[in-house]
Chain A
Amino acid sequence: MQILVIEDESKVAQAIRKGLETELYQVTVAATGEEGYFLATTRAFDLIVLDLMLPGRSGLEILTALRQQECQTPVLILTARDAVEDRVEGLDTGADDYVVKPFAFPELLARIRALTRRGRPEQALRLRLADLELDCVTRKVTRERLKIDLTEKEFELLEYLLRHQGHVVSREMLAREVWKVSARATPLDNVIDVHITRLRQKMDAPFKTKLLKTVRGVGFVLKEGVE
């Protein structure tokens, strides 16, 4: 899968490139708006990651020009300004999604995954990892065929983690997607940590293999085996 990253800050650009390449994407980096625009119009990409604050031609200008050229490649914008107007402006111009800097890398990955599989229905009703099973219809969770009683929040949390199994999920993602709190400055981190602890006690502690792992400083991941 081909991704074009238009970002002038070389450290950020290289970090994104490395991170994406680890996830087996093929990455091309453009350091200026002009270069990015040229690449985007001459080569085919599956996704464009576009920084809004670029020297010379701004990200929004490039986005406008691309959309005028009937270029339908999904665009994910990176912005340092998280004011609602800025985000709305980006989305109105034709961006498909946005991530506010400084972003958590797992979040960037999750959004890229979501954008690149867009159009394909991916709403499995039964989620599974090793011997852990979650049924979205009956809202039943079992492990080794044993029923696990979860509160509503714990169920939603587990469902989200299962849908992103194998990928690290940050607290910001959980706050927004599970708690539906869009403001970035709420004291939810502690709440999330306590819920994770309880979830772990119910679905991991009684069993031999541990599935829910904490990645220090980043977030949580649900996967089999050790790091």
Chain B
Amino acid sequence: MSLKRTSIRFRLILWNSAVLMIILSIVSLGIYFLMKNRLEIMEKSRLDTGYGTVEAVIRNARGDIMDLYHLGQKLLFRVTREGHLAYQTQAWHETEWTKRLEARPFGTYGTLQTAEGSHYWIRKGTIPEYNFNLIYAHDATDAAKSIHSLILILIAGLPGAVILAVVGGYFLAGRALSPVKAITQKAKEITAERLSERLPIPNPKDEIGNLASVFNETLSRLDGSFERLRRFTADASHELRTPLTSIRSVGEVALQRPMDEGSYREAIGSMLEETQRLTRLVDNLLILARSETGKAKLDPRPTNLSTLVGTVVDELRILAEDKQQTLSTRFSSPLAVNVDGATLRLAGSNVLHNAIIYTQKGGHIEVITARTEDRKATIDIIDDGPGIPEAERDKVFERFHRVDKARPRVEGGAGLGLAIARWAVEANDGVIFFLDKERPGTLCRITLPVC
């Protein structure tokens, strides 16, 4: 079983227990060595004290070993002179293993363990003034037993602690993960139709709460785009329905009763006009749909922006002339930008076309290209028409948006022109927006990075 395939809860417990086991092992070893060391130092100092006492008594008595008798017979020591026994305590005499000591070579200190399980520490030395050899033994059985039981406690305690950790970890992980369970449950219920629902946020400050709020933000954005899509579909159907209605009624009325050829031609022509409007609408919708899926292919190449704008102005100039408007230009040249010419032309002509349509007869329109200090190229399209209310300035770029709903549809105007213009500018890494203008009118600015 691979670790990655198991639940988070199981993995948490596993890691938790493993880490605990390592820590406990290290601590246990530490305790063991510390205690062992302490006990050994203690026992050694007792041994030294005992040995020192015997030595002091011998020295005080100036070599008279009979004074040793006062030390009692429970102590374990023996004094020899030139290989011959000079004195030994009762306990030494009665203890079995002491007989074997002579045969065992060892330095100043030594230890010994008897078959019965007793531990002894032994110190050997000479008192040269009196030519004595002294062996002193100290019973350290209690200390050895303490260390032994310590080992037992530590070894037995480790699995117990791990079991506790597993059980505790199981409950703790369950507790910690319970909001995740709740979020999962809720997330399952949220579908495209119920995007307004939000995930529960148990504690906005912790990681899971954070995750849930991030999810909720994503849901909000999705909700927004679904809402826009719904509105778009509704608007699009409405816009498509209008020419369809015209076609249908014109056709039905024409067939109501026999007419002369001219009237039939008139009716068919009128139907065809509506068909063209329908076609144009569908074409525009396709452009927008493609822009949204990012499927539109652009071919950016270095272009002189002033030349490109000039072409657009020349193309549409005749419309301004037709309305007795003056269309003046001020071009900064050359102005090199890296753009897809066809798309940017679309943006330019849509904005300029709007300016011409919405500006009154005899009005004035000015198109200016310039280079700003922060390495941007700008196109300003300025008119002295009625202008756009400040609150509407962002909305006009939305699809099907018309500032004045009551206003009759102008040629080709389904409210898609500026939406397309915005897409076309943004696809070329530019920005399009309306600026404040002192005098009445509109100032639309397109900025593009200079290459």
Contact = CB atoms under 8 A, between A and B. Distances in A.
Interface string A194-227: 1100100000000000000001111000000000
B329 interface: no
Nearest to B314: A153
Interface in B320-338: 321-322
Contacts of B350: 187
Interface stretch (B114-122, B269-277, B433-441): B269-277
B316 A183 contact: no
B221 interface: no
B271 A82 contact: no
B214 interface: no
B353 interface: yes
Interface in A163-181: 171, 179, 181
B342 A183 contact: yes
Given A216-B273, A217-B269, A217-B275, A187 B290 contact: no
B67 interface: no
Contacts of B276: 171, 217
Tier of interface size on chain B: 35 or more
Residue picked from A85, A191, A215, most chain B C-beta under 10 Å: A191
Residue picked from A82, A186, A216, most chain B C-beta under 10 Å: A186
Nearest to A153: B318
A185 B287 contact: yes
B417 to A, nearest CB: 7
Contacts of B346: 183, 185-186
Contacts of A195: 318
A194 B319 contact: yes
B287 to A, nearest CB: 5
Interface string A136-162: 000000000000000000000000000
A216 B270 CA distance: 7
Contact of B269 (A179, A184, A216): A216
B420 A218 contact: no
A217 B268 contact: yes
Residue picked from B283, B286, B318, B345, most chain A C-beta under 10 Å: B318
A176 B322 CA distance: 23
B269 A215 contact: yes
B349 A186 contact: yes
Nearest to A102: B279
Contact of A217 (B270, B321, B412): B270
A69 interface: no
B269 to A, nearest CB: 3
B411 interface: yes
A217 B272 contact: yes
B290 A83 contact: yes
Interface in B278-294: 279-280, 283-284, 286-287, 290
B295 interface: yes
Contacts of A184: 280, 283
Nearest to A85: B297
Contacts of A198: 318
B265 interface: yes
A213 B149 CA distance: 118
B267 to A, nearest CB: 10
Nearest to A197: B322
Interface string B336-358: 00000010011001100100000
A124 interface: no
Interface in B370-425: 411-412, 417, 420
A191 B290 contact: no
A189 B277 CA distance: 11
A186 to B, nearest CB: 6
Contacts of A171: 276
A218 B290 CA distance: 28
A191 B319 contact: yes
Interface string A102-139: 10000000000000000000000000000000000000
B217 interface: no
Residue picked from A83, A171, A217, most chain B C-beta under 10 Å: A217
17 contacts: A179-B315, A181-B345, A182-B342, A183-B345, A187-B316, A188-B349, A189-B280, A189-B411, A190-B412, A191-B319, A194-B319, A195-B318, A198-B318, A216-B266, A217-B269, A217-B271, A217-B275
Interface of B: 265-266, 268-273, 275-276, 279-280, 283-284, 286-287, 290, 295, 297, 315-316, 318-319, 321-322, 342, 345-346, 349-350, 353, 411-412, 417, 420
Given A102-B279, A185-B287, A195-B318, 12 more contacts: A83-B290, A102-B275, A183-B342, A183-B345, A184-B280, A185-B286, A189-B280, A191-B315, A191-B316, A216-B272, A216-B273, A217-B275
